[in-house]
Amino acid sequence: MSESKCNECLPLKGDGGSFDEIRPYAAGEVKQAVESLLADRQFSHLLRGFVPWMPKWMRNGLIRLAFVGVNTPLQFQLRFIKPVLKRILKKCSTGYSLSYSGIAPGPVRYTFISNHRDIVLDSAILDLLLLENGFPTTCEIAIGDNLLIYPWIKTLVKLNKAFTVKRGLSPRELLESSQTMSRYMHHAINEKHENIWIAQREGRAKDSSDQTQDSLLKMFAMAGEGSIVERLKDLHIVPLSISYEYDPCDYLKAQEFQLKRDNPSFKKSKQDDLDNMKTGIFGQKGRIHYEARPCINTWLDELSELPKTEVFAEVARRIDQQIHAGYQLFPGNYVAADLLSGTSAFADKYSEEEKKTFETYLQSRIDLVQIANKDEDFLRERILTMYANPVVNKQKAIETK
Confidence label for 42 from pLDDT (cuts 50, 70 and 90):
confident
Q: Is 236 helix (H, G, I), strand (E, B) or coil?
A: coil
Cα Dmax for the chain: 67
Work out the end-to-end distance of the chain between its first and last CA atoms, rounded to an integer number of angstroms. 39
- pLDDT per residue over 325-370, tens digit each? 999 999 999 999 999 999 999 999 999 999 999 999 999 999 999 9
- Give the pLDDT of residue 102: 81
What percentage of the chain exceeds 70 in pLDDT? 95
Select from 70, 92, 89, 91 the least CA-distant residue to 79: 70
Choose among 165, 69, 76: nearest CA to 124: 76
Kindly report, residue by residue over 208-267, the tens digit of the pLDDT. Answer: 889 999 999 999 999 999 999 999 999 999 999 999 999 999 999 999 999 999 999 999
The CATH number, out of the four listed (3.10.350, 3.30.70, 3.40.1130, 1.10.287), of the domain defined by the range 2-24+81-248+283-328: 3.40.1130
What are the phi and psi torsion angles at 211 (to 5°)?
-135, 140
Backbone angles phi, psi at 311, to 5 degrees: -60, -50
- Rounded Cα–Cα distance for residues 59 and 66 (Å): 11
Reference 236, options 215, 252, 220; nearest CA is: 220
| Angle at 88 (CA atoms; ends 84, 93), nearest 5 degrees | 150
> pLDDT band for position 4 (50/70/90)?
very low
Bridge partners (DSSP) of residue 140 are 196
Phi, psi of 2 (to 5 degrees): -65, -40
pLDDT > 70? residue 70 = yes
User: Nearest Cα to 387, choosing from 229, 202, 251, 185?
Assistant: 251
Residue range 31-44: mean pLDDT, rounded: 87
Q: Which residues of 238-262 are buried (b: 16+ CB within 10 A; e: fewer)?
A: bbbbbbbbbbbbbbbbbbbbbbeee
pLDDT digits (tens, 9 = 90+) for 207-223: 888 999 999 999 999 99
pLDDT in tens, 115-152: 998 888 999 999 999 999 999 999 999 998 888 888 88
Confidence of residue 395 (pLDDT cuts 50, 70, 90): very high
On average, the pLDDT of the chain sits at: 90
> Quick check: 146 and 167 in contact, CB under 8 A?
yes
Q: Is the pLDDT reported for residue 304 higher than 80?
A: yes
Question: In 79-149, which ranges are continuous DSSP H helix?
Answer: 82-92, 121-132
Residue 401 binned pLDDT confidence (cut-offs 50, 70, 90): low
CB 290 within 8 A of CB 240: yes
Average pLDDT over residues 79-86: 91
Q: Residue 6: its pLDDT value, please?
A: 39
Looking at this protein, which amino acid is placed at residue 300? L
In this prediction, residue 194 carries a pLDDT of 95
Nearest-5° Cα angle at 253, 155 to 200? 60
Name the band, by pLDDT with cuts 50, 70 and 90, for residue 3: very low
pLDDT of residue 34: 87
Residues 6 or more apart whose CB falls under 8 angstroms from that of 326 comprise 239, 240, 241, 291, 292, 293
37: Cβ contacts below 8 Å, ≥ 6 apart: 43, 152, 155, 156
Beta-carbon-side half-sphere exposure of residue 321 (alpha carbons within 13 Å): 14
3-state secondary structure of 53: coil
Q: How far apart are CA 75 and CA 174, in angstroms?
A: 33
Would you place residue 17 in the very low, low, confident or very high pLDDT band (cuts 50, 70, 90)?
Answer: low
Q: Nearest Cα to 210, choosing from 135, 113, 298? A: 113
Specify the amino acid at residue 236.
H
Element (H, E) at 43: helix 41-50
Instruction: Give the C-alpha distances (Å, rounded to integers) separating 154 from 125, 189, 263, 368, 397.
Output: 19, 23, 31, 30, 38
pLDDT value, residue 13: 41
**pLDDT number for residue 52:** 77
- What is the β-pairing status of strands 139-144 and 111-114? unpaired
- Residue 5, judged by CB atoms within 10 A of its CB (0-12, 13-18, 19+), counts as middle
Domain with CATH 3.40.1130 in the chain: 2-24+81-248+283-328
C-alpha closest to that of 204 among 127, 147, 135, 161: 147
